[in-house]
A and B are shown apart, each in its own frame.
Chain A
Amino acid sequence: EVQLVESGGGLVQPGGSLRLSCAASGFTFGSYAMSWVRQAPGKGLEWISIISGGGSTNYAGSVKGRFTISRDNSENTMYLQMNNLRVEDTAVYYCAKDWANWNAYFDFWGLGTLVTVSS
């Protein structure tokens, strides 16, 4: 059974940093791209970053230069380092498994971790 478990969310002040983790199990982690998708309270879905099984990355313009996606295939874990956080980054952050490696649609999602950016 595929499982994705996010952690690391919390309350942070504007300009601060957080590191999110996504622990994966139930599939061959290194064979699949993984993404982060966020959802602001009461709003829709926003894709923010993808990493291939081999480590190639892409970002949405709203986070490029501030967020860094990475993965450790030996630990079956993906990360999102978030720097210079803004109030508008407040959202539930989901990790999502790619259908394959770089298809960019998502067949399994974690339950999400809430990031609140506020002073």
Chain B
Amino acid sequence: EIVVTQSPAALSVSPGERATLSCRASQSVSTNLAWYQQKPGQPPRLLIYGASTRATGIPARFSGSGSGTEFTLTISSLQSEDFAVYYCQQYSNWPPVTFGGGTKVEIK
């Protein structure tokens, strides 16, 4: 099973600042990695797939990068609606599909 680890667990950022979230896989997943955003009481929303391709309707301030075992989600200028929990997920070698533990982006 591929273990996916996210860091940090929580991140305090001021509106308008950049946020950088990290995701590490225990073995190479190539670019078979997705990012999701989840707000309280809501289901997850797909942001990024293929490590760097934005899903339909996702603003350009969200960008993904990386390959192999190291990945990054960058939010270039945080808006109020971006404060949420972010999960990465590998779909390279499954079952099982595996998610990271999440990074909570909080208002500083």
Give residues in A with beta carbon < 8 Å to B.
35, 37, 44-47, 50, 58-61, 94, 99, 103-112
Contact = CB atoms under 8 A, between A and B. Distances in A.
B78 interface: no
Contacts of A58: 94-95
Contact of A44 (B42, B46, B100): B100
A32 to B, nearest CB: 14
A110 B42 CA distance: 9
B89 interface: yes
A107 B46 contact: yes
**Interface of chain B: mostly helix, strand, loop or mixed:** loop
Contact of A104 (B43, B45, B97): B97
A99 B91 CA distance: 12
B43 A110 contact: yes
B96 A105 contact: no
Interface string B75-101: 000000000000101010011111111
B102 interface: yes
